[in-house]
Amino acid sequence: MHSRTSNGLVAANDQPAETYTPNASRANYPTGGRLCKQEAPLIALLVLAGHFVHRGRCGDYTICQFGHSRYCCEPIVFHAFALRVGVCND
């Protein structure tokens, strides 16, 4: 027989409680590749200057500001654009 609680609900305590074990080895969101030491500061400086930087799958970049966009197919072209805009000076 089940024991009754004070509010009249039947409580059966013969089942074990379900335990939650997080799986730390697998993320629940897609993870992308990390930026190298040369890319991260340039992207941050361009973003602070008001540009939008979209990183492509093949290591390419698209930089947008005020409705204009610039496609950079290689990191060296991306660095040259950052120099031309004036966000870095090396």
Give me the residue spans of the domains in the chain: 38-90
b vs e for 27-59, b when ≥16 Cβ sit within 10 Å of the residue's Cβ?
Answer: eeeeeeeeeeeebeebbebbeeeebebeeeeee
Cα distance between residue 25 and residue 31, in whole Å: 13
Contact 15, 7 (CB under 8 A): no
Quote the tokens at residue 64: 């947008």
pTM of the entire structure? Answer: 0.57
pLDDT-based confidence at residue 64 (cuts at 50, 70, 90): very high
CA nearest neighbour of 77 among 31, 58, 33: 58
Q: What's the pLDDT tens digit per position in 11-59?
A: 566 666 666 665 555 555 555 666 677 788 888 888 999 999 988 888 8
